[in-house]
Chain A
Amino acid sequence: VDFRTRLLRTLHAIESVLRTPGVLVIGSEVPNLLEPSAGSTLVVSQDVDIGVPVSSHAAVKAAVGELKGLRQSEREPSVWVPESTDLIEVNFIGIDPALRETMESYVLDDPQLPLLVFGALSYLEGGAPVEVDGLTIPVPRPAGLILEKLMTDRSGVKGDRDLLVVLALLLVAAPADLDEVARVFSGLPDETQQTIRNNLTLLSLLEPVSGMPDPRPHRQKIARLLAGLESAGGARR
């Protein structure tokens, strides 16, 4: 069974969760889903992140109690692991719009579905859903996802791949999405703006990685985005 099939079967398995208002598929699988027919050609880890607004926690908790083919991990109770090789892991992560400090985070303690809640996710807003294989998959607007991936620590091998996920998103982003990136960026704290700029420079100079888009032909696009963000952020560099 290829990865695309496993990803879509997993999303079918958690369809009741995906129908909960506010829930979003987030993380590195989103550019896979945004490919034509959810082509899923990017090589990323074998899991899918599900963003759960804290206001929807009760509804999601009820839905996960009914899931078939997945069971809660004993070691990591915010993760549902597959009972067969047809599916992939599902990682539930909390979104709290009240957390405006991008680098803040907390644990939503719950005996059935505890969540790690990250401030960087509070910038995600629902975008046009992906319609594929009879599924309606809620995904974020590209701008929020691009910024979320750029405002956190991107060191090491996983960091490099996460930055190339940003590149994949930039390649499908419309000019209006990039305008939105600049607009949201201008309202972020200085230190977060600097982290985003720093990660863009790292992305610009990355070497190609197997199974991910090659940054070299797109370096000018990255340079123009950095120039636009510097302009949007004011005189500070």
Chain B
Amino acid sequence: VWAAQNDPQVLKAAIPGCESLHQEKDDCYSAVVVAKIGPVRAKFNGRATLSNIQAPERYTISGEGGGVAGLAKGAADVRPGEQGDRTMLHYAVRADVRGKLAQVGSRLLGSTAKKYANDFFAGFNDAVTGKAPVEAPAQPTLRAADDPKSSIRGD
């Protein structure tokens, strides 16, 4: 699982709407993703960096992407953990949006992120096991922030 989650091909297959993904350096990827958040559907050029890598314990993936529809910045702490014969991926996400994404998408950001996470892990599971997943292997813990003035945060 640790290897798979650093494999560009696996990631490209797993990321919903991913048109291309290149590993530029060991810890740096660039990608083109078509994403839809509420009424916004647009192409985003993004770059993701891995940091805080403590294989196979944890790492932090932080990314920044933008396009005509605005920008998003985010980071996720990912922690794989054994659970019987399965690997449970725990993650916590922080995201921050700019431009049209904030203007028309912020209300929907929490639910969209949740859906994307589900889709990603389902696809990831598929790529790793070579078969359709029976259940989403990780329960995302994203929620919309209660304070309307604050940005969207994950737990």
Bind each other: no
Q: Chain A interface (Cβ within 8 Å of chain B)? A: none
